[in-house]
Amino acid sequence: MRLGSLIFALMLGISIFAIPQNDAIAFTEQQISRGAYGDDVIELQARLQYLGFYKSKIDGKFGYNTYWALRNFQEKYGLPVDGIAGAKTKKTLSGNSDYDEAWVKAQLNAGNQFTYYGGKPLEQQVKTNTGGGGGGKSSGSSNNNGTKTQVPPKYTEKDVQLIANAVYGESRGEPYEGQVAVAAVILNRLESPEFPNTISGIIFQPLAFTAVADGQIWLEPNERAKEAVIDAMNGWDPSENALYYFNPKTATSKWIWSRPQIKQIGEHIFCS
Amino acid sequence: MLVILTVAVIGLGAYSFQMHKENTSLQRTVLAQYTNNLTDASEKLSGLQQAVSQSLLFQDDQAMNNELDAVWRLSSEVRSSLSNIPVGQEVSNEWLSYLGRLGDEAKRTEKTGDYQAWREKMPQVSTNLQSLSDEWTVATVDLYKNNGNMDVWVQQVDNTKPNTTFDNVQKTLKDYSEKDFPLTLSESDWQKKIELKALQDSVITEKEALEKVKKLFPKIKDATFTVTKSSDTAPYPFYHIQFHQGIRLGYIDLTEKGGHLLSYLVERPVDEARLSQDEIKKKAEEYLKRLGMNDVAFVESRENHQAWHLTFARVHPGDNALIYADGVQLKLAKDTGELLGANAMEYIQEEKIKPQTAKAIDWKTFFDDDVKIGEVKNIYTDNGQFEQRLCYEVIAVRDKNTQETFRVVIDAENHNVIKVEYLT
């Protein structure tokens, strides 16, 4: 009798775990809309793609591609068309689609190109990342950080990466404010007619940054440097419109001392 | 023992010879690239001068526009080449500025059709470019006589050893820049804005600044503060207040005139997200009220791994259009919704908007048949010539299948397209 109960409990346990994750519980209770990012958005995109509404890359960023796909889904299923994934929308979506979270996350973590259309074997929807990139229409994040950054449309993730490299190479020992200020100087140069008009042109302008000259720009930036770049891209400028900065202890150029100074943050003096 | 020592010496010698060879090879490669860019810049400079001259040949609009295109393209190419060679920062700045202004002028002339103004100004610019080109040739002649040695380049940028020929180029460039392309009224207004000249409030003391900080940000009222004043040469004086409270480390900048908030930023560890997007937005609106910004409306929000960034813009009291230049940005922690940052540098410099009329546009004829209009908003934004224009901001979707989304900004009065952005 005791053995029978044990087997029953075991079977019940197995059956609970075997239920496909296709109900509303899979989503969190949060209402999500444009601007959101993360696991809920990954699930939303995957389920919308499963039903054929979402055709872009599953990247966990709730942008316009997700927005239109969601609106089309809402229209088709007789829901209020607002482009917001609330409880009712999530429930309807979950009830009509399947979501293999483990598989989707595995593809994202591996940096694979993949899609998640329903009715097609998953193994046929993935192109394994071999590190050399790949042609064709891509889906899925290119790396783990792909879902970590959302910036104003005029900037790209490549810009974030490049400036973060410069910030880390130039000012990793500085306070956070000083790191945001270094990123802001690069962005201020982008607006100034006196400097090249691309981020890469500014950073790699010969002799413009010490980190380029001594190779420290190639160090892998940490999350703090990336966060500093994101803040600068969103408008913060602790340098107060500076175009230059220098370390008074190490600067050899006399010219830099002639620039009008604005403020000092940590070891750097910022000037216009 | 002697054998081992001999082998070690030979090995070391071979290794340093190999390293030296690699370094020399690398140096030559870089030098070749610099020389290539220098030659390219010098040749294109000459081409640019000719293009400016040629633009004065035609009465025909189309022929004129072709030359204006060439001026714009060549000025951009010379800029690019110049920015890739190591010359002193000042010379580089002046060059890039002069060429950029020339290119902008060509573009603007093509757009506005004001060929008369171009014809009046360009004969002098053409002469100046010729003399600049000559001076540049003289200044750079040594750079070609380097015998494959990088030291010649390094000396050019070493400010402890003045170079009169480069100084001449820089002086001439500065002079021509001011005469050939003086600041327009709009640019001068924009410059004043950057320097916060519009602020006329009375000066507040350091003590008053601190009191204001504690009132605006009660969360850090018990922090340890360090207040410094901006440098005497700063375009606008401000208080730089750094603070430290437990896990929080940050700063606030307040203008000395009136104690207006420029920016606030705090760094602290952030736990897992607990608040919804809607709750974050509501909290942001509460913070704005506390900061005294009651005349703004929500524009957009972006979630990142630690925080939400939200943007708001002032609402024009006359027509309810959003004034993007009077924007304010907030940063809220994802765990508790704490205000981690506020940026009001633009908001405190309220734009003076000139009255403008909006003429309706028939979107069916304006856009291709394949394009669907998502949203249309009235906004004020910069038209690229430092003027705030009333515009339609249209979210347009192209192609039913790919659903590519664009943000198109159209001047509401003359229907010029000011900006097109691809949205994902």
**Looking at the predicted structure, is the pLDDT value of residue B302 above 50?**
yes
Most confident of A86-100, B5-19, B24-38: A86-100
**Roughly what angle, to the nearest 10 degrees, separates helices A101-110 and A39-50?**
110
% of chain B with per-residue pLDDT over 90: 52
Same domain, A116 and A58: yes
List, in order, residues 6 or more apart from B5 with CB less than 8 Å away. none
Residues B215-224, mean pLDDT to the nearest whole number: 94
Least confident of B61-65, B163-167, B226-230, B380-384: B163-167
Asked if A98 and A171 sit in the same domain, the reply is no
**Mean pLDDT: which of B29-33, B40-44, B241-245 is highest?**
B241-245
Predicted model pTM: 0.86
Candidates B241, B261, B267, B419, partner chain A, best to mutate (most A CBs within 10 A): B267
Q: Indicate whether A17 belongs to any domain.
A: no
Would you say residue A13 lies in a domain? no
Would A259 be classed as within a structural domain? Answer: yes
CB contact under 8 A, B230 and A263: yes
Q: Return the ∠ at Cα A124 (arms to A119 and A127), rounded to 5°.
A: 135
Cβ contact B304–A194 (<8 Å): no
Give the pLDDT band of residue A148 (cuts 50, 70, 90): low
CATH number at residue A140: 1.10.101.10
Is A178 in the same domain as A77?
A: no
User: Using the beta-carbon criterion (under 8 Å), do A235 and B346 form an inter-chain contact?
Assistant: yes
Rounded average pLDDT over A80-89: 93
Q: Which of B94, B160, B401 minimises the CB distance to A254?
A: B160
CA A245 to chain centre: 29
Give the pLDDT of residue A255. Answer: 83
Closest by CA position to B301, among listed B332, B255, B325: B332
Domain housing A64: 23-146
pLDDT for B401 equals 72
Closest Cα partner for B136 from B57, B198, B49? Answer: B49
Residue A2 lies in a domain: no
Per-residue pLDDT, A136:
37
Confidence label for A144 from pLDDT (cuts 50, 70 and 90): very low
Is the same domain home to A138 and A163?
Answer: no
- pLDDT score, position B158: 60
Task: Give the total number of structural domains in chain A.
Answer: 2
What per-residue confidence (pLDDT) applies to B161?
58
Looking at the fold, whether A112 and A212 belong to one and the same domain comes out as: no
Q: How far is A269 from chain B (nearest CA, A)?
A: 10
φ, ψ (nearest 5 deg) of residue B376? -135, 130
Same domain, A136 and A163: no
Q: Are B303 and B278 in contact (CB under 8 A)?
A: no
Q: Do A162 and A191 fall within a single domain?
A: yes
Per-residue confidence (pLDDT) for residue B156, from 0 to 100 = 64
CB contact under 8 Å between B277 and A35, yes or no, is: yes
CB within 8 Å: B424 and A64 = yes
Does B280 have pLDDT greater than 90? yes
B306-320: average pLDDT: 95
pLDDT at A139 (0 to 100): 40
pLDDT at A135: 38
User: Residue B390: pLDDT above 80?
Assistant: yes
> What is residue A24's predicted lDDT score, i.e. its pLDDT?
45
Share of chain A above pLDDT 90, in %: 64
- A164 in any annotated domain: yes
User: Where do runs of H (alpha helix) occur along B259-418?
Assistant: 277-290, 363-366
Q: What is the mean pLDDT of chain A?
A: 85
Closest Cβ opposite residue A195 in set B96, B234, B253: B96
User: Distance (Å, rounded) from C-alpha A166 to C-alpha B302?
Assistant: 24
Residues A181, A201: Cα–Cα separation, whole Å: 19
The last residue of a domain, from among A94, A119, A146: A146
Give dist(CA B177, CA B95) in Å, integer: 9
pLDDT tens-place string over residues B319-350: 999 999 999 999 999 999 999 999 999 999 88
Question: Which residue, among A202, A205, A210, A246, would best test binding to B if mutated, counting the most B CBs under 10 Å from its CB?
Answer: A205
| Burial status of residue B292 (CB atoms within 10 A of its CB: 0-12, 13-18, 19 or more) | exposed
Query: What is the rounded average pLDDT of the residues A78-89?
Result: 94
Q: Encode pLDDT of A106-139 as tens digits.
A: 999 888 899 999 989 998 998 877 654 433 333 4
C-beta atoms of B329 and A63 within 8 A = no
Which of B86, B235, B238 is closest, CB to CB, to A206? B86
* B224 strand-pairing partners: B244
Q: What is the ipTM of this complex?
A: 0.88
Q: Do A194 and B93 touch (CB under 8 A)?
A: yes
Picking from A111, A146, A181, the residue at the C-terminal end of a domain is A146
Average pLDDT value over all residues in chain B: 88
User: Is A252 within a domain?
Assistant: yes
Do A34 and A138 lie in one domain? The reply is: yes
Band the pLDDT of A23: cuts 50, 70, 90.
very low
Of A7-16, B27-36, B213-222, B415-424, the least confident: A7-16
Cβ distance B101 to A195 less than 8 Å, yes or no, reads: no
Q: How far apart are CA B50 and CA B46, in angstroms?
A: 6
pLDDT digit string, tens, across residues A177-221: 999 999 999 999 999 989 998 999 999 998 889 899 888 999 999
Please list every residue in chain A whose beta carbon sits closer than 8 Å to the beta carbon of residue B249.
175-176
Interface test with B, best of A61, A204, A231, A257 (most B CBs within 10 A): A231
- The verdict on A31 and A132 lying in the same domain is yes
Query: Rounded to an integer, what distance in angstroms lies between the CA atom of residue B424 and that of residue B25?
Result: 45
Per-residue pLDDT reduced to its tens digit, A47-63: 999 999 999 999 999 99
Tell if the CB–CB gap between B96 and A38 is shorter than 8 Å.
no
Looking at residues A64-80, what average pLDDT do you find?
A: 94
The per-residue pLDDT for range B69-78, each reduced to its tens digit, is 999 999 999 9
Residues A195 and A101 in one domain: no
CA distance B329 to B312: 6
pLDDT band for B137, please (50, 70, 90 cuts).
confident
User: Does position B365 have pLDDT exceeding 70, yes or no?
Assistant: yes
CA distance A131 to A127: 11
DSSP state of A69: H
In-domain check, residue A8: no
Residue A52 lies in a domain: yes
**CA-to-CA distance for B325 and B315, rounded, in angstroms?**
11
Q: Which two tokens stand for residue A118?
A: 């329903």
Predicted pLDDT of residue B200: 86
Give CA separation, A199 vs A163, B80, B153, in Å: 8, 13, 24
The reported pLDDT for the residue numbered A143 is 42
Q: Which residue of A has its CA nearest to B102?
A: A193
Q: What is the pLDDT of residue B360?
A: 94
Kindly state whether residues A161 and A217 are assigned to the same domain: yes
**DSSP letter, residue B202:** P
Asked which of A123, A146, A169 is the last residue of a domain, the reply is A146
Best of A240, A252, A264, A271 to disrupt the B interface (most B CBs within 10 Å) is: A240
Closest residue to B85, CB basis, from A36, A197, A206: A206
**What CATH number is given to the structural domain containing A201?**
1.10.10.2520
Rg (chain B; Cα; Å): 28
